[in-house]
Amino acid sequence: MNYRVLLVCMGNICRSPTAEGVLRHFIRINNLGDKVEVDSAGTHGYHVGEPPDARTQRAAAARGYNLSQLRARKVARQDLDYFDLILAMDRSNLDTLMRLADPDQQSRIRLFMEYARNFEDDEVPDPYYGLGHGFDLVLDMVEDAALGLIDEIKRQLGRGSQLR
């Protein structure tokens, strides 16, 4: 593996598992499976061991992404060393990750939407308490940022440098 990417939201049942499933799909179709490892986690342990929210799974399945095998977990201290790139879904989770990280780990932590091309938003909104259409918006945003991230990974692999 060349790159290890961790996607992070609060509970790891909506946004970050969606991003994990979408990114895994794009990694597969771009033949990067032997070069990129992806996982997701939450900054809070509310849902550890649970599958993604049923609404998240339905919205993802409607676009061909199967999230049913994913299980929520909480970010662990060792994740901050293990992953080369840690991408938060919003500023609140970014701040939490930055507080957990040592100064030398902080350069690996960014907002996922930094890689988006078509959305100017810097945060993926949490759809958990909203109406159903929020899950489709999350997918739109995640697909956009995931494609941008794949392009960046390909550029970095071409240069033989780390994605930091």
As annotated, the active-site residues are 9, 15, 126
User: How, if at all, do strands 109-111 and 85-88 pair?
Assistant: parallel
Retrieve residue 139's tokens: 């997918």
Contact 129, 161 (CB under 8 A): no
Rounded CA separation 98/26 (Å): 28
Residue by residue, DSSP assigns 102-157 as -TTTGGGEEEGGGG-SS---SSPPP-TTS-THHHHHHHHHHHHHHHHHHHHHHHHH
Rounded CA separation 124/68 (Å): 21
